[in-house]
Chains A and B, each alone.
Chain A
Amino acid sequence: MTNTLAAQINSLLAALILLTAFALLAQRKIIALVHIFAWQGFFLALSTAVIGFASGEHHLYISSFLTLGMKVILLPYILYKLVHKLKIHRDIESVVNIPTTMLLGIALVVFSYHLTAPIRELSNLMTRSTLAIALATVMLGLLMMVTRRHAVTQILGFLAMENGLFFAATSATYGMPMVVELGVALDLLIAAFIFGIFFFHINTTFDSLDVDQMAKLKETD
């Protein structure tokens, strides 16, 4: 496998990651969101492995396996169980204005392209062009957290954002130091558990996972 082919495959994977980020924005069914998130993790793992292979930075393989284990298997599994346990696997978020969100998303992609232009000029890594996609994935995750009301979709947005950060790290500098990556992975795991516990509490307190309900908590009206 030559480097150009690796770069092309990496581009394709970047495009797919972007597509899954948009799919996360557009999908209304919560259970489908979990599946899309798993796919995003899968593309991310694959991309990390390809970069690892092409650049010779073999520690990226470990990152790749970590991603595969955490974001494709473990986290989606936890979320899957959670959704089923909370009996919200048939829930649909109906109030989201999808077309406007999509247009905003496109604008964010263009914006991140503009932001990363100087870095593209300076860098000589083969992954430099995917940096814009990585930044866009972060922003799209943030956008998802802003536009969605359901607590589970918000956590998915958060996780997608983390995917973007991870991808940005691999494309900008061929990955973060191993220690950092392990730490982040552990954090994520713990975060997922904490979120799970919170969901249960929110659900029992408000009888719903709609985070707008939390507006009731404010003291003054």
Chain B
Amino acid sequence: MSLHPFAIELLQLSLLLGLAPAFAGWVKVLKCRVQGRTAAGILQPYRDIRRLFGKDIVLAENASWIFRFTPYLTFGVTVIAAGIIPLVSVDLPLSATADVIALVMLFGLIRFFTALAGMDIGTAFGGMGSSREMTIASLAEPAMLMAIFTVSLASNSTSLTQMVSVMAHAEFVIRPSLAFALAAFILIALAETGRIPVDNPATHLELTMIHEAMILEYSGRHLALIEWAGMMKLALFFALGISAFCPWGISPGGEIGTLALALVMLAVKLMVGALVMVLIETGLAKMRIFRLPEYLGSAFLLATLGMIAFFILE
């Protein structure tokens, strides 16, 4: 027995929508444990989101429609992106909508509007956050695409479905290029999702915040949408990494058995991935903003070496 592709699509979307906060909660719990603190529980993000949805909105007097529209757009684009990355099954109808380059650009669209929203009110914080976010993004994007292109060259495709099925079914080969690309991808994913050492999601200290500075003026359901989309984005970056570099166990069709196996594999990979990230975040300190070019530069170097290794060694 197998599920219709559209059913799988719906399943994946609802899983990501529903479980992204739990994943964010899991990351927080792990981080607390590693740092010797008591955790608020894996369900805390749900409580936060519910609380925010119940609150009234406080808007600055001169907020324009861009400020009010951005949370919806952010959420909408994130949901679409969630439907594109194959997580449990290769046979995903929405996956053909956008390939991996378009996916990166969709995240770029979110960033563009969030940065605009940061500048909409006209406070110094918002502008500072937007400026820093766009600087980091413009240095991160080449490295991001280079890392992904290495996989694309190996699988002869930029279509996620194709990349996943090639990578999942290829016989086991040690590929230094992919190892480099993965290392670069991890560095960039930390930057793109605003984690330590690039940004600190837990701080509201004036001089260090980047992403939080842009969304400082948000409240109520707007903030809830942005937070929720942010949690999904974190999960999606893990999902993208898993799909591109280690999609083993993904279901080739829609059979229930393989789907269940794929789900379990995915859960395990996500948990392990979260642990790796928590260890990185705990082990490193947040960098000064002008150290970041070197950090992102080394990510770019790794990605480039990956690509060079692909041509020289493989």
Contact = CB atoms under 8 A, between A and B. Distances in A.
Contacts of A99: 293-294, 297
Given A99-B294, A113-B308, A8 B174 contact: yes
Interface in A6-45: 8-9, 11-12, 14-16, 18-19, 22, 26
A144 interface: no
A172 B304 CA distance: 25
Nearest to A102: B301
B14 to A, nearest CB: 40
A150 B293 CA distance: 24
Interface stretch (A78-86, A126-134, A183-191): A126-134
Contacts of B301: 22, 26, 102, 106
Interface residues of A, number: 23
B306 to A, nearest CB: 9
Nearest to B311: A113
Nearest to B306: A15
A21 to B, nearest CB: 10
A98 interface: yes
A15 B311 CA distance: 12
Contact of B305 (A11, A18, A98, A113): A18
Interface in B274-314: 293-294, 297-298, 301-302, 304-305, 308-309, 311-314
A109 interface: yes
A26 B312 contact: no
Interface of B is mostly: helix
Given A14-B313, A113-B308, A26 B174 contact: no
A110 interface: yes
Interface in B41-90: none
Nearest to A28: B294
B179 interface: yes
Interface in A168-206: none
B37 to A, nearest CB: 31
B1 interface: no
A14 B180 CA distance: 12
Nearest to A131: B312
30 contacts: A5-B174, A8-B173, A11-B309, A11-B313, A12-B174, A14-B176, A14-B313, A15-B177, A15-B179, A15-B180, A15-B309, A15-B313, A18-B305, A18-B309, A19-B302, A22-B301, A22-B305, A26-B298, A26-B301, A98-B297, A99-B293, A99-B294, A102-B297, A102-B301, A106-B304, A106-B308, A109-B312, A113-B311, A113-B312, A132-B312
Interface of A: 5, 8-9, 11-12, 14-16, 18-19, 22, 26, 98-99, 102, 106, 109-110, 113, 129-130, 132-133
8 pairs of A and B residues whose beta carbons are closest in the complex: A15-B176, A8-B174, A11-B313, A12-B176, A15-B309, A132-B312, A12-B174, A129-B313
